[in-house]
């Protein structure tokens, strides 16, 4: 992607896991949920895990 910059978004790890879990439940009946989950897993390959004070704790890769 020439000329584009990568944006970073920080979310609590529980939020990320809840989102993946929620989308996973709906993928069999909902094509939109399946597309969103696939895109999330493809694009959000690196997740910055933060504690409750939004301080970076560690980085997870490909975690569901």
Tell which wins on pLDDT, 50 or 64: 50
Whether pTM exceeds 0.85: no
Total count of domains within the chain: 1
Residues whose CB is less than 8 angstroms from the CB of residue 11 and which lie 6 or more positions away in sequence, other chains included: 47, 50
Q: How many C-beta atoms lie closer than 10 Å to residue 38's C-beta? A: 12
Domain extent at residue 45: 11-61
Q: What is the pLDDT of residue 64?
A: 43
Backbone φ and ψ for 12, nearest 5 degrees, come out as -60, 145
| 3 found inside a domain | no
In a domain, 15, yes or no: yes
The residue length of the chain stands at 64
């Amino acid at each position: 992607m020439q000329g584009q910059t990568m944006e970073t978004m920080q979310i609590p790890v529980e939020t990320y896991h809840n989102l993946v879990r929620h989308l996973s439940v709906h993928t069999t009946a909902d094509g939109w949920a399946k597309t969103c989950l696939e895109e999330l897993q493809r694009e959000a390959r690196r997740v910055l895990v933060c504690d409750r004070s939004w301080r970076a704790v560690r980085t997870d890769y490909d975690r569901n």
